[in-house]
Structure 1
Amino acid sequence: MRKRISAAVVGLAVAGTSFLATGSASSHGYTDAPLSRQKVCANGTVTNCGDIIYEPQSVEGPKGFPAAGPADGSICSAGISRFSQLDDPRGGTWPTTKVTSGANYTFRWTFTANHRTTDFKYYVTKNGWNPSQPLTRAALDPQPFLTIPYNGQQPPMSLSHSGTLPSKSGRHLILAVWTVHDTANAFYACSDVQF
């Protein structure tokens, strides 16, 4: 009897450890409005994307952007080398989401783990940026055009919020940053848009 109980406890411990180990790999979130690069890779619109097709929700790096966070040139991958295909500008040919300059837009996040949240911030590239180069801080307007405070609350598994898009024209990139409240990390999502 004692051997069966011990075996059951060991089995539960192994199962729990396996669940925790795999749970973190399938956790977190991404933007699907506007469509993020990780989403267009995961849904098959873009090919040759590497591991991101399995984990579009896992683009997680240090928080504190723009003063901290991923290095220039690796912002779209959050500095994760196995997701480096997200940093490849592909000659400026990533599919775009059509948006209207100065209009109200509804941003949407899909979460697989809805962490307590500090805020959501949205940055856009400057006029005249080069879409055939990897994203750098210098290519972005210095201030976010939209900040949604979340004050440590936990969002639902799908979250939408609206804000006014900046006055722009042509092809641009929107960088969405979801700052987790109780960890040292944030999630990054790059969306190519056409104003």
Structure 2
Amino acid sequence: MSNEQQDVQVEEVSKAVEGEVETTQAEQAEVEQAKVQDEVQDEVQAKLSDLEAKLAASEAKVKEQQDSVIRAKAEVDNMRRRTAQDIEKAHKFALEKFAGELLPVADNLERALQAADKENEALVPMIEGVELTLKSFEASLSKFGIEVVSPEQGEPLNPELHQAMSMLPNPDVAPNAIIDCLQKGYTLNGRLLRPAMVIVSAAGGVDTQA
């Protein structure tokens, strides 16, 4: 083999080696680049996860604060409603004690009319005056929410408004029906101020005194 041929062969081998070296370097560069991309992607994913966790925590805190605001508003509304109810009750029933003191006046006027001799013409003007006074007195009470409870004979006993003082047999009315009203009752704005005292019929003809 001549020197020229040897030189050509050496040159070809050198080129082949250089090509292999360049290929290896390119592959290594690709590997390094892929590794860097993976590291960057992992770092980005970690930051995204951290931001999502912080966002979830912030949303939970906002929701908790919203719930606290809603609860506080509900408590304020309830307090305002209770206060309004208390004020309304105070206005309605402020006269309860005073009204209770006035009831004996009506009772005495009733007793005076019951005891008066209506056959005595000399007493007629006085009786009429007492009747007018009682009507005027009851009208004045009514203006302030005080109403008379005066059950009729045969009316069923209502424990919320009537107090049975005694039970008597009476075949003309049903059991536990009112036979007579001994004393009128009164209510104040729908609340019982004093029950009407009544006599009721006994079941089975039993005579019972309360």
- Bigger Rg, structure 1 or 2: 2
Q: Same fold (TM over 0.5)?
A: no
* TM-score (structure 2 length as normaliser): 0.27
* TM-score (structure 1 length as normaliser): 0.28
